[in-house]
Amino acid sequence: MGAVGRVVDPFLQVARLLPGAGVAERFLFGEPEPAPRALTAGREPLRAGMAELLERAVTESRAAARDAYFRAVVDQLLPDEARIVAALSDGAAHPLVHLVARSGRPLVENASSIGTAAGVAQPGLTPQYVTRLRHFGLVEVGGEEPGLRTQYELLLADERVRAAEERAGGRWGPKVVKEVLRLSELGRAFWAVCDPGTRTLRPA
């Protein structure tokens, strides 16, 4: 036994008597701890799924990759969000408002009249819907449009927006950021592919 072995050996004789000794010994000498057989077997579908995705990434076309993303988005969209996308499909811009406290803390984000215009079931969730649609890349925002002045005023008079403004308090009140909401380039491509009004009907 070498010098290192003679130094470590007394330590091992004591360490082997302690709980978890096997783990410590494998750590010291680099012996991998075998994974439970059930855990290893359970990972096989995950590995197979990843292998399939990597294979598809090499072989599928750009259009197929885009459509795969669209399918994933459709699976995640809520009915009210689908109504918003449909309402934006005419290309019109809708007012979007954010309230920001003077400290910089956001009070209201993505408040918009698009929920009411689209006839969603839960208008109060419109900011959350818009946030999700922005996450998917289906909508984009632009600068304030003076022609929508009346619509901005109506939006700022909404009880939910006013309640947030009152909660902010302060002498000067929160900062109001006015923008517009419309479909993004990706959103327009999404609608062109997914528009249910353009699907081919089967013969009767």
Q: Residue 55: its pLDDT value, please?
A: 86
- Spans in the chain with pLDDT lower than 70: 1-35, 38, 170-171, 198-204
CATH code at 78-197:
3.30.110.190
Contacts of 49 (CB under 8 A, 6+ apart): none
Instruction: Let me know: does 114 contact 90? Beta carbons within 8 Å.
Output: no
Tokens encoding 101? 């406290």
**Is the pTM for the entire model greater than 0.85?**
no
SS3 of the chain: the string is: CCHHHHHHHHHHHHHCCCCCHHHHHHHHHCCCCCCCHHHHHHHHHHHHHHHHHHHHHHHCCHHHHHHHHHHHHHHHCCHHHHHHHHHHCCCCCEEEEEEECCCCCEEEEEEECHHHHHCCCCHHHHHHHHHHHHHHCCEEEEECCHHHHHHHHHHHCCHHHHHHHHHHCCCCCCEEEEEEEEECHHHHHHHHHHCHHHCCCCCC
Single-letter amino acid code for the residue at 47: R
The domains of the chain are located at 37-69, 78-197
Tokens encoding 132? 């999700």
- For Cα atoms 115, 178, 94, give the angle at the middle one, nearest 5 degrees: 35
Q: Residue 49: its pLDDT value, please?
A: 86
Q: Residue 19: its pLDDT value, please?
A: 54
Q: Residue 4: its pLDDT value, please?
A: 44
Q: Residue 110 and residue 125: Cα distance in Å, rounded?
A: 10
Angle between helices 185-194 and 79-88 (to 10 degrees): 110
